[in-house]
Amino acid sequence: MELEQLYRKCRATAEEIYRKFDASHDLDHINRVMKNAIDISVREPLANEFIIKLSVLLHDIEDAKYKLEDTLSVREILEMHEADEILIDRVIACIDSVSFSGGNEKAITSIEGAIIRDADRLDAIGAIGIARAFTFGGARGRKLYDANEEARAKMSEEDYRKKRTATVTHFHEKLLLLKELMVTAEGKRLAKERHEFMVAFLEQLDREIGMGKDSVWT
């Protein structure tokens, strides 16, 4: 099958699934990650652009936070639209290396996987990352912040997904760590400004609500 036609068919299927997700993981998120991935891939000439685009498109389909029993898997979508097995395996390998999973991420096996991981993580930090974090927290009924909650330095994937931490705690358990976990040179460069914006935001938040140890919230 022609690659462009395969992509269009997969996109139509993916759009139906993503419409059921909240605004932190919707089609706009996919489009932003796509832009990030393309921006990074320009500096990685050996990367396969089609693998990147298809993997970005499908990377949240099986996200454990949203997946229902009747949700199609990435493999099922690709097989349904007659992708060949080599392509399917490459896309799944890329997607498998994206998730943070409480710091228990899987190894990257290709430059495409590295680009997609960085592109997705760029959308988790900076101004858009802040907006997404509070959007997700609100959708799940989580507190904005909790002065008595300690951020965990080490956790299993199950612990990471199971505990309903306050959104500000999530910054310390994941978002503030991502800058140092970027893989590509361009990902590292782009992450720096976004990370600094998050730090400034949290400092301002602390001034407004008194999250410090000597504040009225302790």
127, 197 Cβ separation under 8 angstroms: yes
Domain membership flag for residue 216: no
CA 69, CA 124: separation in Å to the nearest integer? Answer: 26
CA 145, CA 209: separation in Å to the nearest integer? Answer: 10
Task: Express each pLDDT in 142-155 by its tens digit.
Answer: 999 998 999 988 87
- Among residues 218, 120, 217, 212, the alpha carbon closest in space to that of 175 is found at 120
Domain membership flag for residue 87: yes
pLDDT score at 216 = 40
Range of the domain at 148: 3-209
Domain membership flag for residue 81: yes
**Residue 105, Cβ density class (10 Å: 0-12 exposed, 13-18 middle, ≥19 buried):** middle
Domain membership flag for residue 215: no
Domain membership flag for residue 15: yes
Instruction: Name residues whose C-beta falls within 8 Å of residue 141's C-beta, 6 or more positions apart in sequence.
Output: 164
CATH of the domain at 176: 1.10.3210.50
Encoded tokens for 144: 């904005």
Q: How many domains does the chain have?
A: 1
Encoded tokens for 216: 């009225």
pLDDT score at 164 = 84
Task: Express each pLDDT in 36-75 by its tens digit.
Answer: 999 999 999 999 999 999 999 999 999 988 988 788 999 9
Question: Is the pLDDT assigned to residue 215 strictly greater than 60?
Answer: no
Q: If pLDDT is split at 50, 70 and 90, which confidence band does 211 have? A: low
Domain membership flag for residue 61: yes
Q: If pLDDT is split at 50, 70 and 90, which confidence band does 162 have? A: confident
Domain membership flag for residue 217: no
Encoded tokens for 166: 């306050």
**Residue 47, Cβ density class (10 Å: 0-12 exposed, 13-18 middle, ≥19 buried):** buried
Task: Express each pLDDT in 165-205 by its tens digit.
Answer: 999 999 999 999 999 999 999 999 999 999 999 999 999 99
Name the residue with tokens 């306050």: 166
Amino acid identity of residue 170, one-letter, is: H
Task: Express each pLDDT in 99-111 by its tens digit.
Answer: 886 666 788 999 9
Over its C-alpha atoms, the chain yields an Rg (Å, rounded) of: 18
Question: What share of the chain in percent tops pLDDT 90?
Answer: 80
The CA distances from residue 205 to 1, 117, 145, 208, 212, in Å, are 52, 29, 10, 5, 10
Domain membership flag for residue 214: no
